[in-house]
Amino acid sequence: MPKTSANRYFTSTAVFLNEVLKLSVSIWVAYLERRKVDGLKAPVAKSISHLCGDVFRSDNWKLAIPACLYTLQNSLQYVAVSNLDAATFQVTYQLKILTTALFSVLMLHRNLTAKKWASLVMLTVGIAIVQLPAATKPVPDDPDMNRAIGLVAVVIACTISGLAGVYFEKVLKGSNTTLWVRNVQLSFYSLFPAFFIGVVAKDGKEILERGFFDGYNNVVWSAIGCQAFGGIVVALCVNYADNIAKNFATSISILLSFVASIYCFDFEVTVGFMIGASIVLFATWLYSAPEGLIPRWKQEYVPLEQTDSEADHDGKNHEGEETVGKSSIDELKRSD
């Protein structure tokens, strides 16, 4: 990282700016959509008024729920990480894949076959193996660390992650409100916990001393931009696919991140990584494979002489239908 300050940037300010950037992009796209509906010759003030009406409609409060849930989830992640070693946290946090599937069944009445459940379990195991540290040093007993509290926190965080994601999908697909208006609503309500809980309560004192943008550089701004863009892409994925597909995409992105780390950070490829990556890729293929797919080598072999074009010796084909035998055809030709 290029040194622009003696201190690191505040993560709370980056999270807040991420929401501001998502809100700005969503407002702009929602405004362009509104202009298409109103007509390009309509007054700008009229389109802005209609957009405000769309955003602050009677059901806009519904997006405050996932916004608060995501904030609570992030807070619980900090609690879990503070009370668990890295390996335990990385493995247990992958339970969010299964909680997302469970809430999809309960709230969206989605039907998941045994094959799909098996692929989801494999995905959870595979991505947990991938994220396991290559070598874990024994963690000394820390009186401030409570393993029970950490495990409870990570389980609740996984549950909230699945609930918030599926709830957002249900709201998104359960009304005629456009995706970009919903994005505006979600980003708007996310500003309040990001600012008051993160910026003010968590780092407020230090921010007043060092400044809001202390420690910022091109890398930090690029990360904020990527996070904002990623958040918008997630909403698109949920809208046009579902949360389960989003989890598969996220898992594949983790593999790509590890591959990039080989060139950027001299990451050493381990046997565990290769096994975990193989499981993830196979689980992704298994989930998307058509139901009732029969491997080619298990298909029944039918000899050429027993196909529909030829009759068997009893004057019937392999489906039991009566046919005209070759001898009968020869006799007809001779009679002509």
Enter the pTM of the model. Answer: 0.70
What's the token pair of residue 151?
A: 């495990």
Mind listing the pLDDT tens digit for each residue in 216-245?
988 889 989 988 898 888 888 888 888 788
Supply the pLDDT for residue 329. 47
pLDDT band at 291 (very low <50, low <70, confident <90, very high): low
Sequence-distant (6+) residues with CB within 8 A of 30 are 51, 54, 55, 178, 180, 181, 183, 184
DSSP structure string for 221-245: HHHHHHHHHHHHHHHHHHHHS-HHH
Is the predicted pLDDT of residue 258 greater than 90, yes or no? no
How far is the C-alpha of 192 from the C-alpha of 240, rounded, in Å?
28
Segment 164-186 shows an average pLDDT of 89
Segment 100-119 shows an average pLDDT of 89
Q: Which residues make beta-bridge pairs with 316?
A: 322
Is the predicted pLDDT of residue 321 greater than 50, yes or no? no
Mind listing the pLDDT tens digit for each residue in 125-149?
888 887 776 544 555 556 667 888 8
The more confident residue out of 300 and 29 is 29
Mind listing the pLDDT tens digit for each residue in 25-71?
999 999 999 999 988 888 999 999 999 999 998 888 988 999 888 87
Mean of per-residue pLDDT scores for the chain: 80
Supply the pLDDT for residue 143. 63
How far is the C-alpha of 136 from the C-alpha of 108, rounded, in Å?
40
Q: Judging by beta carbons within 10 Å of its beta carbon (0-12, 13-18, 19+), is residue 212 exposed, middle or buried?
A: middle
How far is the C-alpha of 157 from the C-alpha of 59, rounded, in Å?
26
Supply the pLDDT for residue 200. 93
How far is the C-alpha of 221 from the C-alpha of 101, rounded, in Å?
34
Supply the pLDDT for residue 304. 46
What's the token pair of residue 80?
A: 């879990």
